[in-house]
Structure 1
Amino acid sequence: MSPGLKNSILGGIFWTTIQLVVNRSFAFVIKLVLARILFPEEFGLIGMAVVFTSFIEVFNDLGFGAAIVQKKENSIDEKHYHTAFWTGIIWSIFLYICIITLVAPLAGNFYREPILEEIIPVLSLGILINPVNLVHKAQLTRDLNFRKLTYINNSSSIFAGCISLVLAFLNFGVWSLVFNSVATYAAALPMFFLATGWKPKLIWDNGAFKDIFGFGINTMGTQVFNNLINKFDYLVIGKLLSVSSLGVYTLAFTLTDTFRGQLMSVMNSVMYPIYGKKQDDKISLTKYYLKVVKYNSIVVDGIMMLLILFAEPIVLAFFGDKWIDTIIPLQILSLSVIFHMMVSSNTSLIRGMGKPGLEFRLQLFKSLVLYIPLIFFGTMYYGTTGAAMAILVNKIFSVIIAQYYLKKLLGISIGALFHATKPALLSLVIASCGGFISFNVLGIYWMVSAFVSILLYLISLYFMVGNDIKTELTGMDKLKTVLK
């Protein structure tokens, strides 16, 4: 690995980690306060609205952002940027009209919640704003300028979180959650323009459109089915159960799979352009990917362990009795995340290798054959617990499918994946046993037992990968040149 590329990766990981820590910590505090002020029904209404708006949002950038990032240096110029910008603007206006005239009334009738016809048009204002940021965001990602991306994302999230808290304390109820999303997009808009200095010109090139659309359409197709996977449970729970059930499930999902997704977005945003640059070097791709799996697992598995062992006291202490039905789905979803981490970021790797068509076909298969039937029947017969179990089963099958293609594309064996995740999994077993005995057998206070679990997890990791982590940290000295 060249020193420049290694510094870029280290810099990217550093700044996106800062983004994750600030964003997730602040978002958790916001969720904590809002959950105490608001009720599951209000969170459920947002869950219902997001089911419909997210399907439209997937189509928003036509995959142009990913296409710009993936393209090699000698195959992209200014006309690609301007074409992507104006196409996105026109397309987003069309989509927003569809939301007002079709999607909002459909959602209100589907769930028999008339207020959704008011919520969805406001919640969807980001669809109009997001394409304006599309090129700027792609340019910063291509340049591996994660420092500016971190500043923009954190600043806009903090601003939006403060807005939502003020509205919640002023008794705006569900609207405090609605404006949280809109304010995030609005605050980021001027910052992206200042960060890149790029300004759109009245240029639209048919050749450039075909070039980026050909890649982007496959990426967009993948995102459609990713969204189907991520939101179909919300759709079914909201329809078959109740708005309150969807609210408690939303909180469980936010604390588990959403956290996992945020961490993976850190590594994906750093590694996706790297995968694109090294797409012809299979040896390097394999090394990079296994390191991503290894360290993602180390970070996430320990947190999921705490949610499995101490779900009840955590929910009751932080969110109150009204969220008690969240406990069992929270534990099951935490276990599903642990399985997911065994092949984390595999779709980003496949797309970075220039194979968005394969990524799309995989998501299509998993959505239609596995996910949809499992969620529907699980929810119908066992409620939110059944939906969480369906997620778990789907993640297990996803590991098997992903492993098959990793072996086919890069020769990554199941043994190599196990070796990468072994430190996290073995530490998880040791720490879980200690935490369970401390809390359930000895009856020690849950916060003390949680501390014991984390301590055992860290000690176990130190003995297994302590030297590896020290080696990685020695490279942080070179980070100074990146941060200047």
Structure 2
Amino acid sequence: MSLRQKTISGLIWTFSQQFGVQLINFLVSIALARLLMPSEFGLIGMISIFIAIGSSLIDSGLTSSLIRTINPDQRDYSTVFFINLAGSVVIYFILFLAAPLIANFYDQPILESIVRVFTFSFIINAFAGVQSARLTKEMNFKLQMTIQIPSIIVSGIIGVVLAVQGYGVWSLVYMNLSQSFLSTLQLWLRSGWRPSLILDKEKLKHHFKFGYKLTLSGLLDTIYNNAYNLIIGKYFSAAQLGYYTRAQSLKQLPVNNISRALNKVTYPLFASIQNDNLKLRAVYSKIMRQVIFWLAPTMAILFIFALPIFQILFGEKWLPAVPYFQILCFVGVLHPLHSYNLNILKVKGRSDLFLKLEIIKKIYTTIGIACAIPFGIIGLLWWQVISSIVGLIINAWYSGKLINYPLNEQLIDIVPIFSLSIVVGAIIYSFDYFFSSAILLSDIWRIMFFPILYFLFYLGLSYIIKIKSLADFTQLILKK
């Protein structure tokens, strides 16, 4: 199978997996949002930073090193497997002992037991980390899809049943544990790989040399991405944190579907052509334009119709999350650009530069967060937008130099797409304002009719002004 065929096949199966998983998660989240209180989601949000840090430390960037390594053997895989497993046990017991301190920090005694139960998923997930990395390296996303979706469905049913039975926040905890167990069990049984009793010091040294810098970078990024949960949970109420996490999760629905699915394919794809800068630039620019072409209008629609969407899906009790969500839409549209620029640094083996950039970004971000706290949650969210823009400029500047695709050329490629999305958004907003007032359209009709109208305008104008992304999409998907 050619690289192009593998890429298209990978995209199809990854998007199927991503959309399937997100759709199921979305339906489950709607049910749980109606059954549980915002404060109960806020409790899980409070520990998210510790969960994310633990997950980042367990992997140590070693699986990323496996994916970029040319022809890794059983010694590579087995060594990484046992190191990750040992790391998961250590991290679990550290958090087990730290649980009372976490509960005291937030003044929420229930968090002690939640942390101790929830983090057991670290050990469960460590049993299948290498299997998942092998499938990603082989671009076998079909098998990953058939493993993940049944796990999501069964665990979602467990979570909803427990919520109906009155388990409250514990329904979220046990749902997560059951999902980890089911996906790990299937990966172990169906991936076709088993570890050997091997711990090769040279292999460990090789992967650790590359991976530890990614781990430190990922750790900084993880702390930053979850810092808002930490600060909101500490200085504001659990309910307000629940509103924020609900807004964040809804924002991530299109972002994950479009950008994470592509990111899963692009990293092994970029790694396979890492020594061909001309080809790497061409592939990178095409993928970047493509993801922005679909993500920008999606986020514009969600921004415009945020109020009726929350009203219909989650009910009145979640409406305070609407302004949070609208601000986060600006962050979401930039997220894939960060990922693809950083992937260039990784496949080029510049984990040292990756780490340096993360340190720089996190220093100014931390200062900004401290300054934004007096302005409340809205101030924190606007600072998140500003720091995302600055971070993108930094990432694009350095990654662009490695493949001769400078920042100004990247902007030339994507600014027309952003501009078109804004113009069409303004038109649709005007139509919605006029018709909703004139003929009193219901919320359901608004979110059914106007998004379709938006995309008709958007695709039509893209064709008329010859947006390159539309031609790329036609060639990639429709060309025999």
Interval containing the TM-score (normalised by the shorter chain):
over 0.9
What is the identity, as a one-letter code, of the residue corresponding to 1:382? Answer: F
Question: Gaps spanning 5+ residues in structure 2: where?
Answer: none
2: CA distance between counterparts of 1:180 and 1:359? Answer: 34
Q: Distance in 2 between matches of 1:269 and 1:175?
A: 31
Alignment partner for residue 167 of structure 1, among 162, 171, 183? 162
Matching of residue 5 in structure 1 with residue 3 in structure 2: yes
Which of 26, 48, 51 does residue 49 from structure 2 map onto? Answer: 51
Q: Which residue of 2 aligns with 1:459?
A: 460
Q: Is 1:434 aligned to 2:424, yes or no?
A: no
**CA 1:212–1:122 in 2, change beyond 3 Å: closer, same or farther?**
same
Name the SS of the counterpart of 2:168 in structure 1: coil
Q: Deviations over 1:179-231 (max 9, x none)?
A: 22111210012211233221122211111111111111111111101101210
Q: How does 1:134-213 map to 2 (within 5 A)?
A: 134-213=129-208
Q: 2:84 aligns with which of 88, 95, 116?
A: 88
Are the counterparts in 2 of residues 342 and 417 from structure 1 also a CA contact under 8 Å?
A: no
Give the stretch that moved more between structures: 460-469 or 19-28. Answer: 460-469
CA spacing shift, 1:320–1:450, aligned 2, 3 Å:
same
CA contact 2:61–2:212 (8 Å) conserved in 1: yes
Q: 1:111 aligns with which of 106, 112, 115?
A: 106
SS in 2 for 1:113: coil
Match of 1:352 among 347, 356, 370: 347
Output the CA distance in 1 between the equivalents of 2:78 and 2:31.
42
Cα deviation code 1:362-396 (max 9, x no counterpart): 11111122x22223332x22222112101100111
- Taking the aligned partners of 1:11 and 1:341, their CA distance within structure 2 comes to 21
Letter in 2 for 1:457: Y
TM-score (norm. length: structure 2) = 0.93
Deviation at 1:259, TM superposition (A): 4.1
Partner of 1:321: 316
Q: Which amino acid is 1:72 matched to?
A: I
Distance in 1 (CA, whole Å) between partners of 2:408 and 2:475 is 23
How many residues get paired?
469
Q: Are 1:383 and 2:376 matched, yes or no?
A: yes
In the alignment, which residue of structure 2 is the partner of 1:480?
Answer: none
Q: Residues of 1 paired with 2:337 and 2:56: CA distance?
A: 26
Structure 1 CA distance for aligned equivalents of residues 219 and 26 of structure 2: 27
8 Å contact kept, 1:291–1:420:
no
How far apart are the structure 2 equivalents of 1:279 and 1:467?
A: 26
Q: Deviations over 1:153-194 (max 9, x none)?
A: 222222221211111111111111112211121001221123
In the alignment, what sits opposite 1:372?
Answer: 366
1:342 CA displacement = 4.7
Comparing 463-472 with 223-232, which one deviates more in the overlay?
A: 463-472
**Mapped contact 2:45–2:241 kept (Cα < 8 A):** yes
Query: In the alignment, which residue of structure 1 is the partner of 2:67?
Result: 69
Contact 1:64 1:84 in 2 (8 A): yes
Q: Counterpart of 1:413? A: 406
Amino acid at match of 2:85: I
Give structure 1 regions of 4+ aligned residues with deviation exceeding 6 angstroms. Answer: none
Alpha-carbon contact 2:300-2:422 (below 8 Å) kept: no
Q: State the Cα distance separating 1:95 from its structure 2 match.
A: 1.3
> After superposition, what is the alpha-carbon deviation per residue over 1:321-349, rounded to whole angstroms, capped at 9, x for unaligned?
21121111111110222344555521122
Matched, 1:79 2:61: no
For residues 431 and 156 of structure 1, the distance between their equivalents in structure 2, rounded to whole angstroms, comes to: 39
In structure 1, the gaps of 5 or more residues are: 478-484
User: What residue is the counterpart of 1:401 in the other structure?
Assistant: 394
**Residue pairs, 1:238-277, within 5 angstroms:** 238-257=233-252, 259-277=254-272
Q: Distance in 2 between matches of 1:419 and 1:20?
A: 29
- Tell whether the 8 Å contact from 1:293 to 1:344 is kept in structure 2 after alignment: no
Please report how far the alpha carbon of residue 257 of structure 1 lies from its aligned counterpart in structure 2 after TM superposition. Answer: 4.0
Distance 1:242 1:161 in 2: 27
Q: Distance in 2 between matches of 1:206 and 1:413?
A: 39
RMSD (CA atoms): 1.8
Equivalent residues of 2:263, 2:339 under 8 A apart: no
The superposition leaves residues 406-438 of structure 1 with CA deviations (integer Å, 9 ceiling, x where unpaired) of 332122133432343245323312320221111
Cα distance in structure 2, aligned partners of 1:301 and 1:131: 35
Q: What secondary structure sits across from 2:108 in the alignment?
A: coil
CA-to-aligned-CA distance 1:89-125 (integer Å, 9 cap, x gap): 22211111111112x1121010000000011111112
Separation in 2, partners of 1:180, 1:169: 13
- Letter of the 1:70 counterpart: R
Look up the SS of the partner of 2:436 in the other structure: coil
* Percentage identity across paired residues of the two chains: 27
Alpha-carbon contact 1:276-1:354 (below 8 Å) kept: no
